[in-house]
Amino acid sequence: MPLTEHVAIVSMAREVPTRDLLQVAAAVQKQVTRDFTPLWGIPATVDAFEDLASVPSDYRPVVLFSDLGELSSRLEYVLGAQPAETLIKALEADEVAGIHLTAITRQPFSLASVEGAWTVTVSHETLEMLADPYGNRLVAAAHPLDPALRVCYLLEVCDPCLSMYYTVNGVLVSDFYTPRYFDPVRIPSVRYSFTGALGHPREILEGGYLSWIDPRDSSLYQLHAGEQPILLSGLAELKRSRDPLRTVVDSNPRTPRPGLGPLRKAPSVVAGEGANVGLLEASLGTAQVTSDALLSLTREFG
């Protein structure tokens, strides 16, 4: 039986109150338990914490932030002055919606901006940290444009379907590809992403991307939907860097950001306003029934 992973959702942004943080953590927990774990075989818990100091040492944090100044002061308390300064400089150098960092903390650690659809970003970062905590896992498969060539893809389960979302508990969460995504050929009965939005292996939806190492020159490349591959980092640059490959990808300004671009509802999933209204009405109804039951008990035993 695989070990259970633990993810901590922590907000350092005033824009995200505790109530919202708890709701999002519950939704991502349900997504992991119901949708992700049966496909990937990675059991995990997802919990909200008030601050980093409250997070147990074996949890992997996903930290929400908006103001870099406030983030700096809080991270300095946890990481130390020098690592916190290095981290803030990396963030200031580029607009970051979601980024994985292990070079500084030596443990899986994700930062997620509350700009845009931040709940999708939290879901995105959580799933990718579970699938590949240290950001260097590679999967060999055919080149996305030339099946005669073979490359090593960085395992980023949300990136090809970056713009696709569905809802859990009325909260927007990220679509993700399945372990069959790198199959050599398409099989009609196989699901390549959870929502079915990806219709064949190595497909990239609009707004998404794939990253890989080409064994012919050991360089890191990226492909966006409908475009030609671009060189993200050559061999010499990769040799000088201590960062995980995912951090190299996420910190590159040409890499699309989760939750920032146009989002699309997965066509096979009920994710419209009507479903959310129904969910809210059901929640309010249940709350009212529970309140009435508690009131009745207090009257009976009071």
* pLDDT, tens digit, 9 for 90 and up, residues 126-155: 999 999 998 899 999 999 999 999 999 999
Task: Give the integer Cα–Cα distance in Å for 228 and 79.
Answer: 40
pLDDT tens column, 149-183:
999 999 999 999 999 999 999 999 999 999 999 99
The whole-number average pLDDT for the span 239-266 is 86
The whole-number average pLDDT for the span 242-270 is 84
Q: In the prediction, which pLDDT does 189 show?
A: 92
Instruction: Reply yes or no on whether the pLDDT at 294 is more than 80.
Output: no
- Residue 273 — pLDDT band, cuts 50, 70, 90? very low
Model pTM?
A: 0.82
Lowest mean pLDDT among 35-39, 68-72, 124-128: 68-72
Instruction: Reply yes or no on whether the pLDDT at 10 is more than 90.
Output: yes
Task: Give the integer Cα–Cα distance in Å for 193 and 190.
Answer: 9
The whole-number average pLDDT for the span 79-88 is 62
Q: In the prediction, which pLDDT does 206 show?
A: 95
Q: In the prediction, which pLDDT does 56 show?
A: 92
**Maximum average pLDDT range among 3-17, 86-100, 285-299:** 3-17
Instruction: Reply yes or no on whether the pLDDT at 113 is more than 70.
Output: yes
